[in-house]
Amino acid sequence: MTRHTAPRIAIIGAGPGGLTLARILHLRGLQATVFEREVFSSVRPQGGSLDMHAESGQYAIECAGLAAEFKRIARYEDQEGRLYDKQGKLLLIDDDVTEKNRPEVDRGQLRQMLLDSLPSNAVRWGHELSAVRAHDDATYELVFRSGMSERFDLVVGADGAWSRVRPLVSQARPSYSGVAFVELGIDDADARYPELARLVGRGLTFFVRECKAMIGHRDANAHLGIYAALRAPEDWIEKGGLDTSSPGAMKTSLATHFSGWSESLLELIYRSGDRMTPRAIHALPVGHRWEHRPGVTLLGDAAHLMSPFGGDGANLAMQDGADLALALAGGEDWRAAVREYEAAMFARSEPSAAGARDAIDQVFSENGLSHMLQAMQEHRGQGPVSGEFRHPL
């Protein structure tokens, strides 16, 4: 087989998108090397639960031949949705999980499932890409922070929001949405804080008021993930908007942004563990696309970073990984396969990105609560459909 029919493939990033691509290529007998900057798989918590959509995340898992493994870690029982106001009054509960097919899965477990399905040497940990050099023979040289370099025929940027591969095809950079999250978590909530576990319930719960929200989700092992979210300037923390001098000070100063909210909701902040992660929410321009460049492509957040208000990011990343792998495995001409993948990926990610942008703007508005109520009623088939609004996260 010549190099043209079997390209040397490098995948930058061992997130859900890159690992899905690697797994399906492996299944189809194509070699690929994944380069990941983290030094090992559990070096940092991967974050909370994701719900896997049938047409994207679950489709990719099927293509990866991992449906049975997924069923073992999927939490079909955690598909509830709840909406409260800032006084803690329950406005809506959507607890009929029997009809739903968007099971939750912990990010860490999803990543481990994909890693376990790959040969042990498929991921090169501790390899942070710092530059890519194009050569006249149509190969690309990857240069890593360690100084090591290696050449490939096809480089796939699956390296997330701040992709180092993206500048090879596009000048676009993510811009700040105006909304900042602080991620908090409560371990072993059923035993330690049963009243908070009951408040959050078995799924995703929103407390919304006037440009602010607290979002709770139940993860595996009775962990509660909490996002305290608000409109804030991008540099709000540097400018003293949050006292980060100690975990206690951080919780107290975060709670002041939610003054007037009921004490029981503020307990979600005060009872959290000491690990608190600020996350400024960025997005690429809706409809981001590029002129095809042979030998380089992007998937997932590197291609179409969007606000989490749409719940599509990881799902689309996995669908991208699956579709690119199937195109590469199925075609005679791998360059044409990449081009076809890009056309389909651009078309499907644009409406998701537009929906995610509209949703974050609506939730973090003065009328955020009524937008959320309407969206959740529509989601469970109880209200008029309002076009663009998507069920958040």
Ligand X SMILES: Cc1cc2nc3c(=O)[nH]c(=O)nc-3n(C[C@H](O)[C@H](O)[C@H](O)COP(=O)(O)OP(=O)(O)OC[C@H]3O[C@@H](n4cnc5c(N)ncnc54)[C@H](O)[C@@H]3O)c2cc1C
Minimum distance between the CB of residue 112 and ligand X, rounded to whole angstroms?
13
Q: Which is nearer to ligand X, 173 or 264 (CB)?
A: 173
Q: Which residues bind ligand X (CB under 6 A)?
A: 12-18, 35-38, 50-51, 128-129, 158-160, 164, 181, 227, 279, 300-302, 308, 311-315, 317, 393
Q: Which is nearer to ligand X, 107 or 262 (CB)?
A: 107
Which contacts of 71-75 are long-range, i.e. CB under 8 A and separated by 24 or more positions?
A: 73/105, 73/106, 73/109, 73/110, 73/113, 73/220, 74/103, 74/104, 74/105, 75/49, 75/103, 75/104, 75/105, 75/220
338 contacts 292 by C-beta, under 8 angstroms:
yes
Name the residue nearer to ligand X (CB basis): 282 or 371: 282
Provide the strand spans (E) within 210-285: 212-218, 224-231, 277-283
Q: Which is nearer to ligand X, 80 or 159 (CB)?
A: 159
Mark out the alpha helices in 74-131 (DSSP H runs): 107-116
Signed CA dihedral, 287, 290, 295, 296: sign only: negative
Answer whether 114's CB lies under 8 Å from 88's CB: no
DSSP-assigned letters across all residues of 168-199: GT-----EEEEEEEEEEEETTHHHH-HHHHHH
Measuring CA to CA, which residue among 227, 230, 221, 228 is closest to residue 197? Answer: 221
Shortest Cβ 101–ligand X spacing (Å): 15
- Please say which residue, 51 or 106, places its beta carbon nearer to ligand X: 51
Question: Would you say 116 or 195 has its CB closer to ligand X?
Answer: 116
Report which of 8, 14, 22, 10 is spatially closest to residue 126, judged by C-alpha positions. Answer: 14
Q: To the nearest whole angstrom, how small is the minimum distance from the Cβ of residue 5 to ligand X?
A: 27
Element (H, E) at 155: strand 154-157
Nearer to ligand X, 158 or 230 (CB): 158
- What's the number of CA atoms in the CB half-sphere (13 Å) around residue 269? 25
